[in-house]
Structures are given as C-alpha cells and as structure tokens.
Structure 1
C-alpha cells in the first residue's frame, strides 16, 4: 500500500477514535432516546415548538397524560440533543438525592446574562460554598422575624386594592403585594410605587432564545439585540441593588440598622468570609427574581381554587376564626393554620409554579429498565409527577385532604416537589410558605371570593413559570364583621 494511503487510513482511524471518545455518551443517549416513546418530533427542531405560547396547550396536555401515553420514562428532542423526561418518584429520587449523579445544565448558563451567578444558576464548589454560607439566614427563627412585614404589607396592599366589586384581577394585586414584601424583607426598602423598581419590568428571554437555535451559540448571541436587552436588564437590576447595598453598608457602620433584612445579613459575610460584593449582588438579585412569579402564581391560583370550591373556602375561613385570628394575626396563629397549608400544597400540586427543572447527568444512572449515560440532559417534569394517578388518585381534582396528617404517608417522598428536593431544594421554601399563608389568610379573613361566570377554569400558559392567560379574575365581597 502506498505511503499516501497509509497516511489517510491512519488519519481516519485517529479521527474515528477521537470522535468516539468525545461523543460516545452522546451517541449512547441518542440510542436510548430512539428506544423510548415520546411526542412526535420535527426534523432538526425536535420538540422545541411545544414551548411556543400558542402551542402551550399541547405541552400542558402532554404533561397531564405523559404517564398514560409514554409510560414511566419518555424522550424529547431539543433540536439534535436528546432529552429524557423524568417524572416517576423513584427515578426522581435517584437523580435529585445525590449531587454526584447530576448537575445543572446549559439552561441555567443561558440565564446568567439576566440573573447573574446566584444560587439558582451557579454550580459546583461555588454553589456549595454560597449555599453553606447563606443557609443559616433561612433558619425558621429568622424567617419568622419577617412575619410583621408580611402582615403589614399584605393588609396595606390588599386593604387598599380589594373592594366589593366583580372581575378583580387578583393576580396583579397579589404580584404587587409580593413585590413590596420582597423589597422590604430582602432589600430593606419600603417600596411606594412599582415604577420605582426595575424588578417588575424585566423579562427572562430564555424561551425566545431556545426557539432560535443559532442564538444558543454564545458568539452569535452576544451580537444580537436580545443579548443587549438582557445585558441592559442585568445592569439595571444590579445597579439598583448596588445603590441600596452601599446605603445599607453606610447605615450598618453607623449602627442605624441591625439585620432588618436579608441584605443586612449578607453584608455580614463581607466581614466574616471571602464572600465578595459581586456575590452579594448576584444573590440579592436572584432572591428578588426567584421569589416573585413563583410565589405570585401559587397565591393567586390558591385564591382561585378557594373561590371555585366554596365549601373549602369556608373551612379555611373557619380555621382562621378558630385559631383566634379574627383580630390581628400572629405568627403562632399562622402556624396553627394546617388546613390552609394543605390548600396551598394542593394548589402547588395542580399548578407547580416551576413545572419543569433541567439537569445533566454526571454519571451513568439506572432508571428502571434503562441506563441513562453520563452527559444526558434530563428534564424533570414536576407537573407530570404531581398528576400521577398511582400517587395521587383522581389527580385532576382539587382535594386538600391529600395532605392531611392521615394521608401524607401515602405520598411517595419524591412524589411532591414544588420546590424541588434533595440537596438543591429551594433554600427559601419556608420563607415562601409563611408569605403565602399570610397573604391568603389576610384575604379570606376579610373577603368572600367567587369566580365570575365563564371563568371557572384556568387557561394556563408556560413561560418558565405557569401563568393564567388574561390573569385570574375573581368576584370580591367584603365579609360582615
């Protein structure tokens, strides 16, 4: 054989070995995806069009029926990338209970431009370090110290905005209330008008970017108008928090404030650890953004279900009276509202604020009859997990008694995960429960709710969080004292 031919043969062999070594797990993931059932995919685009708002009904319908249509595991395609959609509790336990088998994937890197590098988007040693440093500030004793702010703002906003009238867009009023609560408890700011803050004007462009695959290439994205828009939003948010941070640091040095908000506690880390100012800004922005739409969706949706189910609403009202909260609410009384908490959990079961969570496997993982290879992208469908009939009988019905003390043992430990589970469980979930219970009890104590005609069902739309198209409208009637 001629030398030239030997050269090309060697080149092809080396090229094949290099390709196999670098893409072995990708080809294994493709092979697994081809063996699994899933929704029909379009060549090159895969299933990404399901995330379009006009296609959301198909995405949501697929989520409801996924286990019946595709069994315990299904596949999807994000362009040419195979994605495993996981929702069975035992599979979720394997993936979420151990940080050694999974990590956050490229979806979270896409959010860096807008949110920054806080707990939601960070990974590895940085995430572990920040989580360890911040975790003590979410101890229940500290969280309960924010209760007076929760209550005061809820009474002020809801008392001013809710009156005896029909067709009130409760979702807007709830979001206004939560925005003010977060400004007070996270940043220490008494927000008078939403226009004073950039946190209600930002827009996460993740889905829009996913629908344009060329924008997934950073080199191209950084030269797009979308990138400029996100960068400007990021700058506005961080400059806003930076100004507040500088003011709080000055007040702290003058002993004029003493840990009245989360930002004050993060300032302590500047003196006691190597926590940087940039880290504080990233984390503060993350907490402000993560706590808005997710909690707003849960509160507004819970009020909708209470309006729709009059008997359940009256049980919540009776509980408020029975614990003695007919006058000014206290934190001890709030902690006794167990049935209200069941209603909130059942709401988040039916409408989890964050219905999809993504991960990438960092090791081979056995999922029942299949082995998912290292490097496989995982889409955890919380929405589907919460509607599995063998975990939640009659899953489409609103039944708070599912979460009663007697029935809780029937729920798989990884069957209910509105705040995720495992080491990466949302650090602020207790904060959220206290906040939600305060707002909802404030409303139900003062007002009777009912749905307007032709608005007895929610038309959901997926935009990273769930939202009701057109908002949630309710009829409001003041209760007689």
Structure 2
C-alpha cells in the first residue's frame, strides 16, 4: 500500500516535471542558458554542498553563462543577472518593487516590514520612516556615533600595546550599540550578555534561513515547524523578538512618562538636543522608533507593525555595517600605502577642525569615503537582491515571464571587467569624479537602487566614516588573516566562514 502511494506520488511529480519543462513557460525559461537540469530535482543536487561551495558555484556560473543564467530549484526557475542594463530594468522599474518568494523565509522574523513587504503597505511604511533619515536628524545622531566610536577606540587602547581582534564580533557589538541608541533611542551599555545573545541569534537565524532556502520541501512554514531546524528557529525567534520587545517597551514607557510631548519635530532644528531632566528621565534625541510610536498613536500602524520595522532595522542597521567595517579594515591592513594616505587625510581633517569631529569633519575626508566605497564594491554587505517583476521583461535579450524570480548578483555586477578594469584590485581612485564619469549608474549598487534603495545608506556611510576615522587616527592596521585565504559563507550578508583577525597597533608605540 505504502509502496503504491509512493509510486503514485513520484509518477505525479514526474508528469508535473514533463508538463512544466515542455510546456510554454518551461520552454521559455529553458531558452535562458544554465547547467543541466536533473529530472524532478532540477539543479538542487548542485546546491547541496557546504555553504562556502555554493558561493563559489554561483560565481562560476555567473562567469560561464555571462550575463544571464537560470537554475531550477525543484519546480521553480530562478534567473540570475549581473549586467547593469538588466539590473536597471529590474531595480529601476517602479513596477518591479515586489520582493521574490525567497523573502517569505524571513517573515517569521521580520513579518511584512520594509524589507519584505510590497505594494501599498511598503509605500506607507516607507513614507512613515523616511523622516528618520532626514539630514537634520542625522546631525543629531552624529554625537552618539562619535561617542560610541570613541568608547570602542578607548577599549582598544586600554588593552595596552598591539591588540589582535576577531573583527566580526568586535565591530558587531559597536554597530549594535549605535543602532539601538540612535534609531531606537535605547542604550545597551551594561547589557553585554543581553546583547551577545541577540547577536548570536542573528548569526544562527541566518544559517536556518539558508538551510531552508536550498530545500524547497521546507519552504512552507506549516511543514517546517515540525522539523528539528524548525524547533531551533522557534527558540531563536524568542530571543530575537524578546530583544526588540524590550527595546520597544522601554521607549514606549519613556513617552508615557513624558505624555508623548517629544513625539514631534523630526525635521526641526537641534533644539531637540536638549538634555534636560524630565520626570527623572534624560530627554533623548528623537529616534526612528519614535516615528513608529507616533504613527501608532495616529492609527497608521499597529503594535505588530512596530515590531516588524524594529526587527528589520535592528538587523539591517547593525549586521551589514559591521560586515563593511570588517572588510574595509582588512583591505586597509593589506594595502599599507592606501592606509597611510587615508590616515594622513584623517589627521589633516582633524587638525583643520581643531581636533573636534563634526558633520563638517566627516565631509572633509573624501579619500576615506572612496576607500569605503571601493570596499563595498569588492565586498557588498548584501551580495544579492531578489525580485519578481510584475510584467514580462527582456533581460539580455531573453524573455523572462511575469512573476519569475530574478536575482541580482551584486558581487558579480561589481566585479564585471567590462565596467571595472582589473576588478579584483583594491583601488579607491575608481571613485574619483573623473573616473566615475560615464560609468553605468547601475554598475555599482551596494545599497540597491531605484525605488527600493536602502533608506539608511547615508546613516551607514556616516557610521563607517566615523568609526574608521577614530581607528586610523590612533592605530595602524596590520593583517593577521588575509582575504586571499578566506572563504565566503552563503548568508543574509556576505560573511566569512571563519574568524578574520586584524592587529591594531597604537601609533605612539611605533
């Protein structure tokens, strides 16, 4: 009986495979080049390797089938693109803002927040949150970023002499402190264990999501919850949501005690910097979370919606920035002349500002900014973006039917030798104005592009420049581990498979 049932299931799947691949849709999709497809499984066999091997496999396919290829994940075709014209067609089109079904795997964590939502809901949330990243608000945040960067630098100094650091946890603690105090209005000082549990849960959750991504049979949330990894996900979600629930509760309590009088004025001037005491609580600067609380009071968003956005920004606002700091530090450590030039510029900017770091000081380090941009070219924090176009599109002269999953391989877009000569070479001067002239606007998309570009990209650049400015002023960077020896893990962000370390040497000791 069981054998007969299994035979019927396999037979039905095989018939489905034949109809799918030899029907109109399948014939169109198979006109796009790609590796050989196995019956029923598609290309799943190729993906069932260690995560670092998946990364290498995808990059090899990108070069072999340039500029477009397709894979079949069981019965679902996936199209991969890297040509800037195709990237513009997908990311630049206001009718292609719908994220693909891949993002459904993020919903237990993020719900339908700004990262995962589409249509009118995404537009409403974007409108609510945009003022949080207005220039005037960023000016208020800079003091917190400076304070946290100085604290981090002093911790290194206090260890005495040259210090070797595992960069990811070192920077992740720093960036999580920054996003909590700026965007959430909550300090994590003296909450080390609380913070460590959250950061570890973020890392483990990324592994769970990748596990599901390459196993279509556990894409269904109702099925996955019965698997051991599903139980593990439930435990992780308790930690992740518990962390953000506590942050939201603390900020709501603050506004209850101050009768909500500090929930306005996001685009006002820095009168908001008032540090006066009110009902025993230090008045904090307005934060992104305050916009959500204000919208909640105006019935624009519910409690679940607040947590969706806080979960989204807690992850996106700390992990991606920490990754960028890791790779920029390692690149500077391996390129002494570039590091020396950046340090010389930092010291000149600080001398000109009388040692005081302000927004103007940060705008006076263009070479350091070019170093960061070039690092993001080689190692974009988010290596790919996925969309489902709402209409048929032509990509590299191949028809891609509506609602097909299209993945933009950012890391390969950024290393295309047709747009980036000697693409593997670290050269910040690629971003000199004269060298950028005439470059395709979609050949460089570390913060995405078009209508769904990253809402926090100016905030991220401010934090990256401030952190590196402090470190370069006080330390030499020396490599312990080298990028050439590093394997990349498939994850929500571009993450090394093992710890990557750099030595920080106090300048006065040399």
TM-score (norm 1): 0.88
More displaced, 230-239 or 389-398? Answer: 230-239
Q: Contact 2:29–2:400 at 8 Å: present in 1 too?
A: no
State how far apart, in whole Å, the 2-side matches of 1:369 and 1:142 are.
44
Q: Contact 1:392–1:411 at 8 Å: present in 2 too?
A: no
Tell me the equivalent position of 2:138: 143
Tell me the equivalent position of 1:446: 474
More displaced, 280-289 or 113-122? Answer: 113-122
Q: Contact 1:50–1:59 at 8 Å: present in 2 too?
A: no
Change (3 A) 1:102 1:137: closer
Displacement of 1:259 after TM fit? 4.1
1:85-112 per-residue CA deviation (whole Å, 9 max, x = no partner) reads 0111111111111231451111111111
Tell me the equivalent position of 2:435: 407
Q: Contact 1:302–1:347 at 8 Å: present in 2 too?
A: yes
Counterparts of 1:414-429 in structure 2, within 5 Å, are 414-429=442-457
CA-based RMSD of the aligned residues comes to 2.5
Aligned pair count reads 459
State how far apart, in whole Å, the 2-side matches of 1:444 and 1:427 are.
28
Tell me the equivalent position of 1:158: 153
Q: Pick from 377, 402, 407 the counterpart of residue 405 of structure 2.
A: 377
State how far apart, in whole Å, the 2-side matches of 1:52 and 1:427 are.
35
Q: Contact 2:172–2:322 at 8 Å: present in 1 too?
A: yes
Q: Contact 1:89–1:415 at 8 Å: present in 2 too?
A: yes
State how far apart, in whole Å, the 2-side matches of 1:232 and 1:33 are.
39
Change (3 A) 1:239 1:455: closer
More displaced, 101-110 or 90-99? Answer: 101-110
TM-score (norm 2): 0.84
Does 2:324 align with 1:298?
yes
More displaced, 320-329 or 274-283? Answer: 320-329
Q: Contact 1:97–1:423 at 8 Å: present in 2 too?
A: yes
State how far apart, in whole Å, the 2-side matches of 1:348 and 1:429 are.
12
Unaligned runs of 5+ in 2: 1-15, 259-277
Displacement of 1:129 after TM fit? 0.8
Change (3 A) 1:101 1:453: closer
Does 2:74 align with 1:79?
yes
More displaced, 257-266 or 122-131? Answer: 257-266
Change (3 A) 1:217 1:459: closer
State how far apart, in whole Å, the 2-side matches of 1:290 and 1:195 are.
21
SS state at 1:137 partner? helix
Q: Contact 1:26–1:376 at 8 Å: present in 2 too?
A: no
Counterparts of 1:299-338 in structure 2, within 5 Å, are 299-324=325-350, 327-338=355-366
More displaced, 279-288 or 229-238? Answer: 229-238
Displacement of 1:347 after TM fit? 0.6
State how far apart, in whole Å, the 2-side matches of 1:55 and 1:246 are.
37
State how far apart, in whole Å, the 2-side matches of 1:420 and 1:455 are.
24
State how far apart, in whole Å, the 2-side matches of 1:453 and 1:467 are.
15
Displacement of 1:391 after TM fit? 0.8
Displacement of 1:364 after TM fit? 0.5
Displacement of 1:249 after TM fit? 2.4
Does 2:32 align with 1:36?
yes
Change (3 A) 1:184 1:310: same
Counterparts of 1:107-186 in structure 2, within 5 Å, are 107-161=102-156, 163-165=160-162, 167-186=164-183
State how far apart, in whole Å, the 2-side matches of 1:66 and 1:411 are.
25
Q: Contact 2:101–2:405 at 8 Å: present in 1 too?
A: no
Q: Pick from 270, 275, 287 the counterpart of residue 261 of structure 1.
A: 287
1:324-348 per-residue CA deviation (whole Å, 9 max, x = no partner) reads 2583422210111111111111111
Change (3 A) 1:47 1:309: farther
1:68-91 per-residue CA deviation (whole Å, 9 max, x = no partner) reads 421221112222211110111111
Q: Contact 1:170–1:472 at 8 Å: present in 2 too?
A: yes
Tell me the equivalent position of 1:349: 377
Does 2:240 align with 1:237?
yes
Tell me the equivalent position of 1:104: 99
Tell me the equivalent position of 1:286: 312
Q: Contact 1:158–1:177 at 8 Å: present in 2 too?
A: no
Change (3 A) 1:28 1:167: farther
SS state at 1:315 partner? helix
Tell me the equivalent position of 1:199: 198
Unaligned runs of 5+ in 1: 1-18
State how far apart, in whole Å, the 2-side matches of 1:60 and 1:416 are.
21
Does 2:487 align with 1:459?
yes
Q: Contact 2:111–2:308 at 8 Å: present in 1 too?
A: yes
State how far apart, in whole Å, the 1-side matches of 2:44 and 2:213 are.
7
1:156-186 per-residue CA deviation (whole Å, 9 max, x = no partner) reads 1232136533542222211111111122112
Change (3 A) 1:443 1:92: same
SS state at 2:233 partner? helix
Q: Contact 1:38–1:70 at 8 Å: present in 2 too?
A: yes
State how far apart, in whole Å, the 1-side matches of 2:284 and 2:168 are.
34
SS state at 2:246 partner? helix
